[in-house]
Amino acid sequence: MKFMRRKLIIGGTLSTGALVVGWWFAHERDRLGGRDTFKARDGEVALNGWVKVSRSGTIIVAAPRAEMGQGIHTALAALVAEEMDAKWEDVRVEDAADLGIYRNVEMLLEDARAQDPGLMRDIALWAGSRVAGILGVSATGGSTATRDAWEPMRLAGASARELLLRAAARKAGVKQADLMIVDSRVSTRDGKQVATFGELVDAVGKLQPLDGVPVKKPADFKLIGKELPRLDVAAKVTGTATFGVDVRLPDMLYAAIANSPVFGGKPKGFTIPTGGLPKGVVKVVELPTAIAVVGDSWWKAQRYLNEQLKIQWDDGPNAKLDSATLMRDYEAQSRAVGDAAKTRSFQTAPVAQRPMERGIEATYRAPYLAHATMEPMNCTALFVDGRLRLWMPNQSPSLMRYVAAKTAEIDQAQVTIHTTYLGGGFGRRAEPDLVRQAVAIAKAVPGKPVQVMWSREEDMRHDFYRPMAVARMQARASKEAAWEWRCRLVGQSATGQFIDRVLRLGEQGDPDGNSVERPPYGFPSYRLEAVVPKGPVPVGFWRSVGHSHTAFFDECFLDEVALAMNKDPLALRRELLKDQPRHLAVLDAAAKAAGWGTPLASGIGRGIALRQSFGSIVAQVAEVAIEGGAIRVKRVVCAVDCGRVVNPAIVRAQMESGIVYGLSAALYGEITIKNGAVEQGNFPDYDVVRLADMPVIETVIVGSPDSPMGGVGEPGTPPIAPAVGNAIFALTGKRLRSLPFKLA
Interface with other proteins by CB under 8 A: which residues? 67-71, 229-230, 232-243, 245-246, 248, 254, 297-299, 372-376, 421-426, 453, 455-456, 649, 653, 656-661, 664, 682-684, 688-692, 694, 696-697
Task: Compute the least distance from the CB of residue 624 to other proteins, in Å.
Answer: 17
State how far the Cα of 402 lies from the Cα of 413, in Å rounded to an integer.
Answer: 10
Task: Compute the least distance from the CB of residue 275 to other proteins, in Å.
Answer: 17
State how far the Cα of 128 lies from the Cα of 74, in Å rounded to an integer.
Answer: 28
SS (H, E, C) 106-119: HHHHHHHHCCCCCH
Looking at the Cβ atoms of 47 and 653, the one nearer to other proteins is: 653
Task: Compute the least distance from the CB of residue 716 to other proteins, in Å.
Answer: 9
Looking at the Cβ atoms of 33 and 393, the one nearer to other proteins is: 393
Strand segments, DSSP code E, in 434-481 are: 450-453, 469-477
Reduced to 3 DSSP states, what percent helix, strand and coil does the chain have, rounded to the nearest 5? 35, 25, 40
In one-letter notation, the amino acid at residue 354 is R
φ, ψ of residue 682 in degrees (nearest 5): -160, 175
Q: Furthest-apart CA pair in the chain: how many Å?
A: 85
Task: Compute the least distance from the CB of residue 437 to other proteins, in Å.
Answer: 18
Looking at the Cβ atoms of 530 and 590, the one nearer to other proteins is: 590
**Nearest in space to 244 (alpha carbons), one of 43, 435, 56:** 435
φ, ψ of residue 304 in degrees (nearest 5): -65, -40
DSSP letter (8 states) at residue 615: T
In one-letter notation, the amino acid at residue 310 is K
Task: Compute the least distance from the CB of residue 650 to other proteins, in Å.
Answer: 9
Three-class DSSP category at 381: strand
Looking at the Cβ atoms of 295 and 491, the one nearer to other proteins is: 295
State how far the Cα of 404 lies from the Cα of 501, in Å rounded to an integer.
Answer: 15
Task: Compute the least distance from the CB of residue 470 to other proteins, in Å.
Answer: 27
Looking at the Cβ atoms of 5 and 248, the one nearer to other proteins is: 248
Task: Compute the least distance from the CB of residue 694 to other proteins, in Å.
Answer: 4
Residue 41 CA: distances (Å) to CA of 38, 56, 210, 415, 417:
10, 13, 22, 22, 19
**Radius of gyration of the chain from Cα atoms?**
27
Looking at the Cβ atoms of 298 and 391, the one nearer to other proteins is: 298
Pairing of strands 51-54, 44-46: antiparallel
Task: Compute the least distance from the CB of residue 609 to other proteins, in Å.
Answer: 18
State how far the Cα of 331 lies from the Cα of 364, in Å rounded to an integer.
Answer: 9
Task: Compute the least distance from the CB of residue 230 to other proteins, in Å.
Answer: 6
State how far the Cα of 704 lies from the Cα of 585, in Å rounded to an integer.
Answer: 10
Is residue 628 within 8 Å of residue 649, measured between CB atoms? no
State how far the Cα of 600 lies from the Cα of 446, in Å rounded to an integer.
Answer: 66
Looking at the Cβ atoms of 91 and 502, the one nearer to other proteins is: 91
Looking at the Cβ atoms of 98 and 232, the one nearer to other proteins is: 232
Is residue 693 within 8 Å of residue 467, measured between CB atoms? no
Axis-axis angle for helices 569-576, 547-564 (nearest 10) = 110
Looking at the Cβ atoms of 230 and 606, the one nearer to other proteins is: 230
Looking at the Cβ atoms of 383 and 686, the one nearer to other proteins is: 686
Looking at the Cβ atoms of 239 and 506, the one nearer to other proteins is: 239
Task: Compute the least distance from the CB of residue 386 to other proteins, in Å.
Answer: 30
Question: Is the preceding peptide bond at 740 cis, omega within 30 degrees of 0?
Answer: yes
Looking at the Cβ atoms of 308 and 738, the one nearer to other proteins is: 308
Is residue 472 within 8 Å of residue 334, measured between CB atoms? yes
Strand segments, DSSP code E, in 660-719 are: 673-674, 677-678, 696-701
State how far the Cα of 349 lies from the Cα of 346, in Å rounded to an integer.
Answer: 9
Task: Compute the least distance from the CB of residue 139 to other proteins, in Å.
Answer: 18
Task: Compute the least distance from the CB of residue 418 to other proteins, in Å.
Answer: 16
Looking at the Cβ atoms of 238 and 274, the one nearer to other proteins is: 238
In one-letter notation, the amino acid at residue 178 is D
Three-class DSSP category at 331: helix
Task: Compute the least distance from the CB of residue 113 to other proteins, in Å.
Answer: 27
